[in-house]
Structure 1
Amino acid sequence: MRNYDRDPLLDQRAALILLFGVLSAIGAGALTVLNCGTVSGAALAGAGAFAAAVYFFHKIIS
């Protein structure tokens, strides 16, 4: 018999904030590549967008 009463690794708020951060990073990276940027530049833009989005959504989602 399996025990399914374990707590989740992330609560819903943290999962939502990280999801929005990842979506923002993908959007920023895609826009950078579409603007004739390099893949490394897109990765840097995506990383910065991820950090900014996680901080922003952490502050506004209570």
Structure 2
Amino acid sequence: MGNNDRDPLLDQRTAFILLLGVLAAAGAGALTVLGGQPLAGGVLAGGGAFTAAVYFFHKIIR
């Protein structure tokens, strides 16, 4: 309780990269389910898209 630091948990770059990863995952999962696959397939596609997007944006955003 004595620690009154106001430092953010994540810096702006990290938060932005994770946001883009979540958006890519939601898009891939939604398109997978709308394409006729079961929900579990959409979740797996979203997880793969999240991983790939975070890696990709981590490499290109400086």
SS of the equivalent of 1:30 reads helix
Query: 5+ unaligned residues in a row in structure 1: which ranges?
Result: none
Larger displacement relative to structure 2 (3-12 or 42-51): 3-12
Q: In structure 2, what is the equivalent of residue 13 of structure 1?
A: 13
Q: In structure 1, what is the equivalent of residue 37 of structure 2?
A: 37
TM-score under structure 1 length normalisation: 0.92
User: What do you get for the CA RMSD once the two structures are aligned?
Assistant: 1.2
Aligned equivalents of 2:31, 2:44: Cα separation in 1: 12
SS of the equivalent of 2:41 reads helix
Q: Could you tell me how far 1:6 is from its partner in structure 2?
A: 1.2
TM-score under structure 2 length normalisation: 0.92
Sequence identity of aligned pairs in percent? 72
Q: Which amino acid is 1:33 matched to?
A: V
Q: Could you tell me how far 1:33 is from its partner in structure 2?
A: 0.5
Query: 5+ unaligned residues in a row in structure 2: which ranges?
Result: none
Taking the TM superposition and a 5 Å limit, the aligned residue runs for 1:39-58 are 39-58=39-58
Q: Over residues 19-43 of structure 1, what are the superposed CA-to-partner deviations in whole Å (9 max), with x where a residue is unaligned?
A: 0000000000000001001000000
